Chains A and B, each alone.
Chain A
Amino acid sequence: ETGVTQSPTHLIKTRGQQVTLRCSSQSGHNTVSWYQQALGQGPQFIFQYYREEENGRGNFPPRFSGLQFPNYSSELNVNALELDDSALYLCASTPLGPGRTEAFFGQGTRLTVV
Chain B
Amino acid sequence: GESVGLHLPTLSVQEGDNSIINCAYSNSASDYFIWYKQESGKGPQFIIDIRSNMDKRQGQRVTVLLNKTVKHLSLQIAATQPGDSAVYFCADKRGYGGSQGNLIFGKGTKLSVKP
**Interfacial residues, chain A to chain B (CB-CB below 8 A):** 2, 4, 30-31, 33, 35, 40-45, 48, 50, 55-56, 58, 90, 92, 94, 99-108
Contact check, A45 vs B104: say whether CB atoms are below 8 A apart. yes
Contact check, A31 vs B32: say whether CB atoms are below 8 A apart. no
Q: How far is B98's CA from A31's CA once the two chains are assembled, in angstroms?
A: 10
Contact check, A107 vs B93: say whether CB atoms are below 8 A apart. no
Which residues in A have their C-beta under 8 angstroms from that of B36?
105
Contact check, A101 vs B93: say whether CB atoms are below 8 A apart. yes
Is there a chain A Cβ closer than 8 Å to B43's Cβ?
A: yes
Q: Which of A41, A92, A101, A108 has the most chain B CB within a 10 Å cutoff?
A: A101
* B43 CB contact (under 8 Å) in A30, A100, A107: A107
Q: How far is B103's CA from A43's CA once the two chains are assembled, in angstroms?
A: 9
A48-B105 contact given A101-B32, A101-B93, A105-B43, CB 8 Å threshold: no
Q: How far is B25's CA from A108's CA once the two chains are assembled, in angstroms?
A: 26
Report, nearest first, the 3 A-B pairs whose CB atoms are least far apart.
A42-B105, A105-B43, A94-B100
Contact check, A104 vs B46: say whether CB atoms are below 8 A apart. yes
Contact check, B93 vs A56: say whether CB atoms are below 8 A apart. no
Contact check, A56 vs B102: say whether CB atoms are below 8 A apart. yes
Q: How far is B107's CA from A104's CA once the two chains are assembled, in angstroms?
A: 19
Contact check, A101 vs B96: say whether CB atoms are below 8 A apart. no
| Least Cβ–Cβ distance between B9 and chain A, in angstroms | 9
Which residues in A have their C-beta under 8 angstroms from that of B103?
33, 35, 43, 45, 92, 103
* A42 CB contact (under 8 Å) in B45, B89, B97: B89
* B105 CB contact (under 8 Å) in A44, A100, A104: A44
Which residues in B have their C-beta under 8 angstroms from that of A45?
102-104
* A31 CB contact (under 8 Å) in B100, B104, B107: B100
Chain A's closest residue to B4 (CB) is A42
Chain B's closest residue to A46 (CB) is B102
| Least Cβ–Cβ distance between A95 and chain B, in angstroms | 8
| Least Cβ–Cβ distance between B59 and chain A, in angstroms | 12
Contact check, B96 vs A50: say whether CB atoms are below 8 A apart. yes
A43-B105 contact given A101-B49, A103-B46, CB 8 Å threshold: yes
